[in-house]
A = this chain, B = another copy of it.
Amino acid sequence: MDEYYMKLAIEEANKAAAIGEVPIGAIIVYKDEVIASAYNLRETTKNATTHAELLAIQEACNKLENWRLEETTLYVTLEPCPMCAGAILQSRIPRVVYGARDAKAGCVDSLYHLLNDSRFNHECDVTEGVLAEECGNLLTEFFRDLRAKKKNQKRQL
Protein backbone atom coordinates (compact mmCIF):
# COMPACT_ATOMS: atom_id res chain seq x y z
CA MET A 1 0.00 0.00 0.00
CA ASP A 2 2.89 2.38 0.76
CA GLU A 3 4.18 1.95 -2.81
CA TYR A 4 0.75 2.73 -4.22
CA TYR A 5 0.53 6.02 -2.30
CA MET A 6 4.16 6.90 -3.02
CA LYS A 7 3.40 6.56 -6.73
CA LEU A 8 0.72 9.23 -6.27
CA ALA A 9 3.31 11.45 -4.58
CA ILE A 10 5.64 10.83 -7.54
CA GLU A 11 2.85 11.91 -9.91
CA GLU A 12 2.70 15.16 -7.95
CA ALA A 13 6.48 15.56 -8.25
CA ASN A 14 6.19 15.10 -12.02
CA LYS A 15 3.71 17.97 -12.17
CA ALA A 16 6.35 20.17 -10.50
CA ALA A 17 9.03 19.12 -13.01
CA ALA A 18 6.67 19.91 -15.90
CA ILE A 19 6.59 23.58 -14.88
CA GLY A 20 10.28 23.86 -14.03
CA GLU A 21 9.93 23.40 -10.27
CA VAL A 22 12.24 21.07 -8.33
CA PRO A 23 10.26 17.78 -8.48
CA ILE A 24 9.08 16.97 -4.98
CA GLY A 25 5.54 15.73 -4.33
CA ALA A 26 3.49 14.88 -1.28
CA ILE A 27 0.11 13.42 -0.44
CA ILE A 28 -1.78 12.93 2.81
CA VAL A 29 -3.98 9.88 3.42
CA TYR A 30 -6.74 9.81 6.04
CA LYS A 31 -8.58 6.55 6.63
CA ASP A 32 -7.61 5.13 3.22
CA GLU A 33 -8.62 8.33 1.43
CA VAL A 34 -6.25 10.83 -0.19
CA ILE A 35 -7.30 14.15 1.36
CA ALA A 36 -4.43 16.33 0.10
CA SER A 37 -1.92 16.31 -2.71
CA ALA A 38 0.65 18.95 -3.56
CA TYR A 39 3.98 19.64 -5.22
CA ASN A 40 6.75 22.12 -4.68
CA LEU A 41 5.81 25.56 -6.03
CA ARG A 42 8.53 27.80 -4.67
CA GLU A 43 9.49 29.48 -7.95
CA THR A 44 5.92 29.86 -9.22
CA THR A 45 4.57 31.37 -6.01
CA LYS A 46 7.81 33.21 -5.11
CA ASN A 47 7.02 32.04 -1.57
CA ALA A 48 9.66 30.16 0.43
CA THR A 49 7.07 28.21 2.40
CA THR A 50 5.39 26.52 -0.57
CA HIS A 51 7.13 23.15 -0.27
CA ALA A 52 5.04 20.11 -1.19
CA GLU A 53 4.61 18.92 2.40
CA LEU A 54 3.58 22.32 3.77
CA LEU A 55 0.99 22.82 1.03
CA ALA A 56 -0.37 19.31 1.61
CA ILE A 57 -0.58 19.90 5.38
CA GLN A 58 -2.45 23.19 4.86
CA GLU A 59 -4.89 21.47 2.47
CA ALA A 60 -5.45 18.59 4.89
CA CYS A 61 -6.10 20.98 7.82
CA ASN A 62 -8.68 22.78 5.68
CA LYS A 63 -10.26 19.48 4.67
CA LEU A 64 -10.50 18.08 8.20
CA GLU A 65 -11.16 21.53 9.73
CA ASN A 66 -8.61 20.69 12.37
CA TRP A 67 -4.98 21.63 12.98
CA ARG A 68 -4.46 18.14 14.39
CA LEU A 69 -4.10 15.68 11.52
CA GLU A 70 -4.75 12.58 13.56
CA GLU A 71 -5.03 9.18 11.81
CA THR A 72 -3.19 10.50 8.75
CA THR A 73 -0.10 9.38 6.87
CA LEU A 74 2.04 11.80 4.89
CA TYR A 75 3.85 10.43 1.82
CA VAL A 76 6.63 12.56 0.35
CA THR A 77 9.20 11.78 -2.33
CA LEU A 78 12.12 13.44 -0.49
CA GLU A 79 13.19 13.46 3.15
CA PRO A 80 11.62 16.59 4.74
CA CYS A 81 13.63 19.76 5.45
CA PRO A 82 13.55 21.41 8.93
CA MET A 83 10.51 23.56 8.03
CA CYS A 84 8.47 20.62 6.76
CA ALA A 85 9.57 18.27 9.56
CA GLY A 86 8.51 21.01 11.97
CA ALA A 87 5.12 21.38 10.24
CA ILE A 88 4.64 17.60 10.55
CA LEU A 89 5.23 17.89 14.31
CA GLN A 90 2.94 20.92 14.61
CA SER A 91 0.12 19.10 12.83
CA ARG A 92 0.64 15.91 14.87
CA ILE A 93 0.81 13.65 11.80
CA PRO A 94 1.32 10.17 13.27
CA ARG A 95 3.07 8.49 10.32
CA VAL A 96 5.48 9.74 7.65
CA VAL A 97 6.69 7.75 4.65
CA TYR A 98 9.40 9.18 2.43
CA GLY A 99 11.31 8.10 -0.65
CA ALA A 100 14.86 9.38 -1.08
CA ARG A 101 17.13 10.76 1.61
CA ASP A 102 18.29 14.38 1.39
CA ALA A 103 21.88 14.42 2.60
CA LYS A 104 22.07 18.24 2.44
CA ALA A 105 18.94 19.30 4.32
CA GLY A 106 17.05 16.19 5.47
CA CYS A 107 15.92 16.49 9.08
CA VAL A 108 14.33 13.09 9.61
CA ASP A 109 17.39 10.84 9.31
CA SER A 110 20.24 12.66 7.55
CA LEU A 111 21.19 15.77 9.56
CA TYR A 112 18.72 15.56 12.45
CA HIS A 113 16.02 13.24 13.77
CA LEU A 114 13.41 15.94 14.40
CA LEU A 115 10.49 13.53 14.08
CA ASN A 116 11.86 11.34 16.86
CA ASP A 117 12.95 13.63 19.65
CA SER A 118 11.12 12.84 22.88
CA ARG A 119 11.62 16.44 24.10
CA PHE A 120 9.02 17.62 21.58
CA ASN A 121 5.31 17.05 22.29
CA HIS A 122 4.93 14.76 19.28
CA GLU A 123 6.87 11.93 17.64
CA CYS A 124 6.20 10.14 14.33
CA ASP A 125 6.40 6.62 13.05
CA VAL A 126 8.77 6.95 10.06
CA THR A 127 9.25 4.65 7.07
CA GLU A 128 12.01 5.62 4.66
CA GLY A 129 13.17 4.32 1.30
CA VAL A 130 9.82 3.59 -0.38
CA LEU A 131 10.51 3.82 -4.14
CA ALA A 132 13.65 5.68 -3.11
CA GLU A 133 15.47 5.15 -6.41
CA GLU A 134 12.60 6.47 -8.50
CA CYS A 135 12.12 9.45 -6.17
CA GLY A 136 15.84 10.25 -6.24
CA ASN A 137 16.17 9.81 -10.01
CA LEU A 138 13.46 12.42 -10.56
CA LEU A 139 15.69 14.98 -8.86
CA THR A 140 18.94 13.82 -10.46
CA GLU A 141 17.40 14.02 -13.93
CA PHE A 142 15.81 17.39 -13.24
CA PHE A 143 19.12 18.97 -12.22
CA ARG A 144 21.01 17.26 -15.07
CA ASP A 145 18.53 18.71 -17.58
CA LEU A 146 18.77 22.12 -15.92
CA ARG A 147 22.56 22.11 -16.21
CA ALA A 148 22.35 21.04 -19.87
CA LYS A 149 19.89 23.85 -20.63
CA LYS A 150 22.12 26.44 -18.97
CA LYS A 151 25.11 25.17 -20.94
CA ASN A 152 23.17 25.47 -24.20
CA GLN A 153 22.02 28.97 -23.31
CA LYS A 154 25.62 30.02 -22.69
CA ARG A 155 26.67 28.58 -26.07
CA GLN A 156 23.99 30.59 -27.85
CA LEU A 157 25.11 33.88 -26.27
Contacts and interface: CB of A to CB of B under 8 A. Distances in A.
For the complex, would chain A's binding face be called helix, strand, loop or mixed by DSSP majority?
A: loop
Contact of A86 (B45, B65, B84, B119): B84
A62 B47 contact: yes
A49 B81 contact: no
Interface in A52-82: 54, 57-58, 61-62, 65-69, 81-82
Interface in A87-110: 87, 89-92, 104-105, 107
Nearest to A85: B82
A121 interface: yes
A15 interface: no
A51 interface: yes
A128 B68 CA distance: 30
Given A67-B42, A121-B104, A81 B85 contact: no
